[in-house]
Amino acid sequence: MSLIRVEKLKKSYNEASGKLEVLRGVDLEIQPGEMIAITGESGSGKSTLLHMMGMLDSFDSGNIFYSGKKIDVKDKYLNEFRNKRIGFVFQFHYLLEDFTAEENVAMPMFLATKNLKVSVRESRKLLKALDLYDRRSHYPNQLSGGEQQRVAVARALINSPEIIFADEPTGNLDSKHSEELINIMMSLNKKYGQTFVIATHNKEIASRMERCFILENGILKETTK
């Protein structure tokens, strides 16, 4: 059974110049443990699609299934579902500036369990695995860009999500740190079978994924490497 199945997903926005169709009937099926890249020009709708699949935004029509179960975006338990089963890594890390690296990573688990001791313990395990343990007491403004993104990856992993959506995760990193971050994601995929869907305009990153799709004119198509 597929982890996620998207059927005929459509999304549009009303603008002063008229209706802007961003997604025109997107179909996509993702299996557990896959690493998938979604490419396309800036403004093509890559982020919109990730936000739809991650339940951060609604869609006009179509369906999304998780492990065969249809998702209702109006379900009152949707936030709980998202927090436990989905992880996000964004181009802008969105770390809480008044919290340390350790606290930022622990926060999603604490919100889900209300158990601070366990949340901090799991946070430290992840920071150690991502070679950030010595930086656990540092605040975001005391970390490099690459370190901030690794903290964001750890935060996305804390609840052992089924899938992680990464939206241009290397967009604000130099080539060295971009390489480091992608290598970490691929290592996590290989070691733990973690599923990743990465939206990127970087062709080199896309070429390293198992499957690659391009979003053009609101239509998603699989490409050959």
What is the structure's pLDDT at 63?
Answer: 94
What's the rounded Cα separation, in Å, for the pair 173 and 151?
A: 14
**Has this prediction a pTM greater than 0.75?**
yes
Pairing mode, if any, of strands 61-66 and 86-90?
Answer: unpaired
What is the structure's pLDDT at 170?
Answer: 85
Q: What is the mean pLDDT of residues 20-27?
A: 92
What is the structure's pLDDT at 225?
Answer: 59
Beta-strand runs (E) in the chain:
4-15, 18-30, 35-39, 61-66, 69-70, 86-90, 163-167, 195-199, 211-216, 219-223
Q: What is the mean pLDDT of residues 58-86?
A: 87
The pLDDT tens digits for 171-199 are 888 888 888 888 888 988 998 889 999 99
The larger pLDDT score, comparing residue 15 to residue 24, is at 24
What's the rounded Cα separation, in Å, for the pair 52 and 91?
A: 17
The pLDDT tens digits for 74-88 are 778 888 888 788 999
> Position 205: which residue type?
I
Are 61 and 137 in contact, with CB atoms under 8 Å apart? no
Mean pLDDT of the chain: 90
